[in-house]
Amino acid sequence: MTEQQEAATRALVESEQRYRRLFESAQDGILILDAVSGSIVEVNPYLCDLLGYAAADLVGLKLWEIGAFVDKQKSKQAFADLQETRYVHYDDMPLVTRQGKAIAVEFISNVYPVGDTMVIQCNIRDISERKRLESLQAAYESAVTTGLRGIVTALTAVLEARDPYTAGHTQRVADLCVAIGRELQLDATALEGLRVCALVHDIGKIAIPAELLSKPSVLSVWELALIRSHVEVGYEVLRTIDFPWPVAEAVRQHHERLDGSGYLLGLEGDAIIAEARILAVADTVEAMTTDRPYRFAKGLKAALDLIRTGRNSSFDGVVVDACLTLFEEKGYAFPTSPSRIPARSA
């Protein structure tokens, strides 16, 4: 044997040893299958420990013949897919250990040549603990969401008890906000945030005398200033609540306008957050389509004309377009609510 041949032989032996060490010490389960028959050729120690089977119990069986695989059809399908695509990946495959314990695994398989034969390598990772933690996290988030909804319900109930006219207004604004959000293809979490923002957007009116909210005549300068203070009061009420959305800031900004003509801060352009931009359009349209203590409703056409005129000046053009599409092309209508005169909206 020449030196080159000896060197090549040593390299091959070393490569095999490295592979063997990796195979034996891997902290993921590994199955090696014959690509033609689907029979198991090798199984590493980690998988034996995970499933509770000795290697001899598994070698020679086909993938779907292993008792650990709960879904036999899925195992057969995996093998069929491998024949066609040479790769499969399942995020969550159920297995059962020899002791009867259910576990979840990530299952990845691919086909590759070894010498003159083709083999399938299946990598099996135990994700049971990750799934357990995800389940706990989901339960926690659900409890938090339920708690936040309770807070919102309590806040709106306080306002409605003091000013029952506000209830229909906030519910209608919330419905339109969510509809606009859907038109803008916002995800479910963002839509829930919009709904919450809308339901509490007038919470600051708890600090305004009820007789002022329902006053049928023109407001004086100081009365108008007091009405407008509801956005800052609402912000102060909400800012210490740890919402997963910028609820307090949206409430503070919902009367701001892109050109700086709004109140109380006179914010312009990008300084106004997205939630407040949507709320501004929905609040304006709803306010104009319902009677006020000091005027009759101006109607939907007037409301839509107003936001159309204010497109990209007072109101966000994208939000305006979504709102117009809802009413003029998709037949959107406010949900019906008990007849009542909504509170004054400055």
The predicted structure's pLDDT at residue 75 = 81
Domain match, 241 and 97 both: no
60: left (phi over 0), alpha (psi -120 to 50) or beta: left
Using one digit for the tens of pLDDT, what is the confidence trace for 212-239? Answer: 877 777 888 998 899 899 999 999 999 9
The predicted structure's pLDDT at residue 73 = 84
- Identify the band that residue 82 occupies on the pLDDT scale cut at 50, 70 and 90: confident
Residue 342 has pLDDT above 50, yes or no: no
Residue among 163, 170, 169, 254 nearest 214 (CA): 163
Domain match, 271 and 185 both: yes
The predicted structure's pLDDT at residue 16 = 63
Residue among 92, 85, 73 nearest 109 (CA): 85
Domain match, 152 and 114 both: no
Residue ending a domain, choose from 126, 157, 172: 126
The predicted structure's pLDDT at residue 216 = 75
Residue 5 has pLDDT above 80, yes or no: no
Residue 174 in any domain: the answer is yes
Using one digit for the tens of pLDDT, what is the confidence trace for 246-281? Answer: 999 999 999 999 999 999 999 999 999 999 999 999
- Identify the band that residue 27 occupies on the pLDDT scale cut at 50, 70 and 90: confident
The predicted structure's pLDDT at residue 321 = 98
- Identify the band that residue 298 occupies on the pLDDT scale cut at 50, 70 and 90: confident
Residue ending a domain, choose from 126, 144, 176: 126
Residue 250 in any domain: the answer is yes
For residues 284-291, give the mean pLDDT: 87
The predicted structure's pLDDT at residue 166 = 65
Using one digit for the tens of pLDDT, what is the confidence trace for 167-205? Answer: 688 889 999 999 999 999 999 999 999 999 999 999 999
For residues 282-299, give the mean pLDDT: 81
Strand order in the sheet with 29-34: 40-43, 29-34, 117-126, 102-114, 87-96
Domain match, 190 and 290 both: yes
Domain match, 230 and 94 both: no
Q: What is the CATH number of the domain that holds 160?
A: 1.10.3210.10
Domain match, 32 and 149 both: no
The predicted structure's pLDDT at residue 94 = 87
Domain match, 251 and 103 both: no
**Residue ranges making up the domain that contains 81:** 3-126
User: Higher model confidence: residue 271 or residue 163?
Assistant: 271
Residue 337 in any domain: the answer is no
For residues 52-69, give the mean pLDDT: 87
Q: What is the mean pLDDT of the chain?
A: 87
Over pLDDT 70: what percentage of the chain?
Answer: 88
Residue 68 has pLDDT above 80, yes or no: no
The predicted structure's pLDDT at residue 338 = 47
- Identify the band that residue 124 occupies on the pLDDT scale cut at 50, 70 and 90: very high
Domain match, 90 and 110 both: yes
Residue 338 in any domain: the answer is no
The predicted structure's pLDDT at residue 336 = 80
Residue 114 has pLDDT above 90, yes or no: no
User: Higher model confidence: residue 142 or residue 277?
Assistant: 277
Domain match, 154 and 251 both: yes
52: left (phi over 0), alpha (psi -120 to 50) or beta: left
The predicted structure's pLDDT at residue 78 = 83
Residue ending a domain, choose from 93, 126, 159: 126
Using one digit for the tens of pLDDT, what is the confidence trace for 91-113? Answer: 888 888 999 999 999 999 999 88
